Structure 1
Amino acid sequence: MSRRTPRLFAATLAVAALALGACAEKTSNDTPAAGGSSAAAAFPVTAGKLTLEKRPEKIVSLSPSATEMLFAVGAGKQVTAVDDQSNYPADAPKSDLSGFQPNAEAIAGKSPDLVVLSNDTNKIVDQLTTLKIPVLLTPAATTLDDTYQQITDLGALTGHPAEAADVTRKMKDDIAALTKDLPQRAKKLTYYHELGPELYSATSKTFIGSIYALAGLENIADPSDADGKNVGYPQLSQEVIVKANPDFVFLADTKCCKQTPDTVKARSGWAAVTAVKNDQIVALDDDVASRWGPRVVDLLKAIVDATAKVPA
């Protein structure tokens, strides 16, 4: 997916990985890839509805979030191909395979012994199953528990259960540390999360919205008459945003669409918005803000760090 469009946001955001933008700089929260397996790992292993008789050594990942999870649990050396949007970590073996329009023949050409997908477009799971290729479906997370479960499943299926447990434990510890001393505010700070300059946003019922809720923020997209299909990704109007007067604007379209604090300040009619007046426009990394792997901790940290500067 090269550019964002209204159709993309209305349909894809709610059901698939948002694999957009360039690779972010590695942070200290990332778990390094490793080739070894957990000493206690034994096969056959069952996770979800999939049973593997032996450890997979030729994994194809068609989900950027799953790619990040696989490398985080130490299965990076087992990954032989990833989709064209999997750009993190930098050494992931990127290919021209598509996770949004998967092609069974092209995938089979990689001779995988495990394929990881985030959605079942074109009934690709049935197609690959017919070819006797094991498939794990890891749909877009709606809660952090979904993320933890997917990491656990991938760790088990790749022979890295202990490493997966370490990753989820560290995520939980880091999130607890980031949220335990949040200031007690008489009135919650409000925010607008921008997915694209067409003013698409995300409600609190989405995975992204749940991360903001951890930071104690109130979402101006809740409730939204614009969310007519109730998918959680409404297209707001400029009038609605200006009237809501958010304390913060968080930009998740800095790479795809070149949005910056300056471009927001230049928007007609936005000068009176509190976020603009107080220089509280936060440029996020598109990828970190659109995936549900271990780097959600980095997203939460960016939110908490930005809002902590406002006196309680």
Structure 2
Amino acid sequence: MTTTDCEGRNSHRFDTAPTKIISSNNAGADLLARLGAGQQVSGVGWARGLDALAPDVRDKLTSAQRLSDGNIDKEKLLSSGAQVFLATFASMDMMGTPEPTAAEFQAANLTKVFIKSSACAKFLPGPRTDLDQVYSDISDLAALTGHRQTGDEMVTSMKKTIESARGKIRSGSRTPTVFHFDVAASKDTLTTPGNRQIANAIYTLAGTTPLGGRIDGAFGKFTYEDLVAADPDWITIAVRRTGDDTSVRTAQDAAITSLEADPRTRGLKAVREKRYIRTTSEDMTLAGPANAEQVAAIVDSVSTSR
């Protein structure tokens, strides 16, 4: 198995499956566990989200140490003895933590492996309208860890889920507009996934038009004035999965209450008619079987507005 960076450079060949993998966050650990490689995960960053994983997934991560509640400390990462650092999102530098240099990774015999559909989104030449790169990530990670068959089965299942969901979209039906409200990242200015993000493909496959599709990038800013002018048919309430389902629901309820009380948003059609799609940021922006499940969920939710 040979891996490369986001630009197809710095190739590294693995002759055997790594036995110690550090995931940059719980979403990467979740995917590894679902592929059958849970015992190969030796450490996790942003680990406060581990408790939010499904119990059967968490039970497969018993060897994983909780290395941090945010980015992993550089020295802790380099001295971990791991063979692979799985980068699932933006670089550590972008999140305010110094990242090891290529030379430091090499000296520690630690290879940085990218889940490219999320970590490398900004390098896409155009809008993402399908999940092909997600499928490739899953297949590559399954091959790297020695679980190729499980990866193939996961991809096949995802494709069947999407095919079934898209079969429910009536030919020639109206295309509803959706605004993706990233609750944790939005303050006075709204943050939403751009057209290079996995979320853009999910909305496109679900037969909807995401307002973030006008943003050329992985994420971008959206003003309240722009939101009011667009007056979307639906608003997605996306929260971080840092607790159980009850905690997620509570956070979503709080965001909806805020939208309905805010004079800037309470007059929006989606708010007046309570047209909300509930989800988590992880399911919409990080590679995994949940991406296909989200396509199906959105198709079912918006069917009333077609």
Q: TM-score range by the shorter chain?
A: 0.7 to 0.9
Matched, 1:216 2:172: no
- Root mean square deviation, CA, Å: 2.6
Identity, % of aligned positions: 20
CA distance in structure 2 between the aligned counterparts of 1:126 and 1:202, rounded to whole angstroms: 33
1:163 to 138, 150, 158: 150
1:269 Cα offset (Å): 3.8
Alignment match, 1:131: 108
Alignment match, 1:51: 13
> Is the deviation greater in 130-139 or in 158-167?
130-139
Map 1:185-264 onto structure 2 (within 5 A): 185-196=172-183, 197-198=186-187, 199-223=190-214, 230-253=216-239, 259-264=254-259
Indicate the residue corresponding to 1:113 in structure 2: 83
Q: Say which SS state the counterpart of residue 309 (structure 1) adopts.
A: helix
Unaligned runs of 5+ in 2: 5-10, 93-98, 122-127, 243-250
Q: Residues 1-312 of structure 1 correspond to what in structure 2 (within 5 A)?
A: 45-48=1-4, 49-85=11-47, 87=50, 88=53, 89-91=57-59, 92=61, 93-97=64-68, 100=71, 102-103=73-74, 105-118=75-88, 119-121=90-92, 122-141=99-118, 142=121, 143=128, 144-196=131-183, 197-198=186-187, 199-223=190-214, 230-253=216-239, 259-310=254-305, 312=306
When you count helix as a share of all residues, which structure comes out higher?
2
Offset of residue 97 of structure 1 = 4.0
In structure 1, runs of 5+ residues without a counterpart are: 1-44
CA, structure 1 residues 125+293, in 2 after alignment: closer, same or farther (shift >3 Å)?
A: farther
Q: Is the contact between residue 205 and residue 232 of structure 1 (CA under 8 Å) also seen in structure 2?
A: yes
- Aligned-pair distance for 1:255? 6.0
- Check whether the contact 2:45–2:71 (CA below 8 A) recurs between aligned residues: no
Moved more, 235-244 or 248-257: 248-257
Change (3 A) 1:61 1:202: closer
After superposition, the Cα gap between the structure-2 partners of 1:255 and 1:79, relative to the gap in structure 1 and judged at 3 Å, is: closer
| Distance across 1 between alignment mates of 2:69 and 2:295 | 29
Alignment check: 8 A CA contact 1:50 1:136 kept = no
Q: Secondary structure at the match of 2:2?
A: strand
Q: Following the alignment from structure 1 to structure 2, what is the Cα–Cα distance between the partners of residues 222 and 136?
A: 28
Q: Which amino acid in structure 1 is aligned with residue 19 of structure 2?
A: E
Provide the aligned length of Structure 1 versus Structure 2: 261
Q: Is the 8 A contact 2:165 2:299 kept in 1?
A: yes
TM-score (norm 1): 0.73
- Distance change in 2, residues 1:305/1:73 (3 Å): same
- Does structure 2 retain, via aligned residues, the 8 Å contact 1:64–1:291? no
The 10-residue stretch of structure 1 (55-64 or 151-160) with the greater mean CA deviation from structure 2: 55-64
Q: Secondary structure at the match of 1:270?
A: coil
CA distance in 1 between counterparts of 2:280 and 2:170 reads 25
Question: 1:35 maps to what in 2?
Answer: none
TM-score (norm 2): 0.75
Deviations 1:269-297 (A, max 9, x none): 43332112221022222332332222112
CA 232–78 in structure 1, closer or farther in 2 if over 3 Å, else same: closer
Tell which has more relative contact order, 1 or 2 (C-alpha 8 A, sep 6+).
1
Q: In structure 2, what is the Cα distance between the partners aligned to 1:83 and 1:254?
A: 15
CA contact (8 A) 2:202 2:292 kept: no
Residue 276 of structure 2 aligns to which amino acid in structure 1?
A: I
Aligned counterparts of 2:115 and 2:173: Cα–Cα separation in 1? 39
- Distance in 1, matches of 2:101 and 2:115, equals 13
